[in-house]
Amino acid sequence: MRMDNAGPIGIFDSGYGGLTILDAIRRELPQYDYLYLGDNARAPYGPRSFSVVYEFTRQAVAQLFHMGCHLVVLACNTASAKALRTIQQQDLPRWDAQRRVLGIIRPTAEVIGSLTKTRHIGVMATEGTVKSLSYEMEIEKLHPDIRVTGVACPFWVPLVEYNEASSAGADYFVRKYIDEMMEADPLIDAAILGCTHYPLLMPKIQRYMPKQVQVIAQGGYVAKSLADYLQRHPEVEQHCSKGGHTHYLTSENPEKFAEQAQRFLNEPVSAEHIDLATITVKQ
């Protein structure tokens, strides 16, 4: 899998939510090229097992490496929770020890200590991310005094993907999960949106979130963390091409992807289809 020429930074998500991460990264680092890959045909990843998420993510990372990426960001909380560590520890040494795969949970865990005064925080995420306890484990390493309460919000992703985020019907489900979180721990003063779709529900989330609770979207923190990483690792940065271009791939219908992606990015999008299910990953 080794390729010595510079290539784009790969951004992978199971669907559309990773576009909110891509958007933040491009604002912070507009000079680089990016290759976004959405496995929309097999989304959502949230309810899937660890082994399935790992295999799907592994296929996507292998494809992005094959297309010239030296650095891949898993812009998906479920993939970061269920696949990142295994890919880093088992696959990269066999594929190419110079390649890098980063997740989006640790950057948020790193900053949360400065964003809570009560040391009680909530994580609102998919069922898979909540059950993985990935946020709890990362935060425990860095801030052992912080208590984390995870709340699964299974209806929030469909609300976004079916373009119902601003509808009156969304209010019930937004308020429902916020109330569950605050009932579980009334001392919470910071809530991490642990799914990349959730920022599109931000107006309603802020409407129903208690005023003392700061709502934390991941994008900006991930982008700043990536900028810092590239500065600290020039051996990786030099393999990231700089042209300011973004290319989009999807395992679903490219016209459907382009229509949805335009809502996330507020700009015209053109995408190409790729069949990840047929990819054979080199052992």
- Report the catalytic residues: 76, 195
Q: Among 20, 15, 11, which Cα is nearest to 201's?
A: 20
- Cα 78 → chain centroid: 8
Helix (H/G/I), strand (E/B), else coil: 237: helix
> Which DSSP symbol is given to 251?
S
- CA–CA dist 153, 175 (Å, integer): 11
Terminal-residue alpha carbon distance, the chain: 11
Q: Among 140, 45, 138, which Cα is nearest to 85's?
A: 138
CB-based burial label for 28 (10 Å; 0-12, 13-18, 19+): middle
CB-based burial label for 275 (10 Å; 0-12, 13-18, 19+): exposed
- CA–CA dist 43, 251 (Å, integer): 10
Helix (H/G/I), strand (E/B), else coil: 123: strand
Neighbours of 244 (CB within 10 A): 12
- CA–CA dist 107, 115 (Å, integer): 13
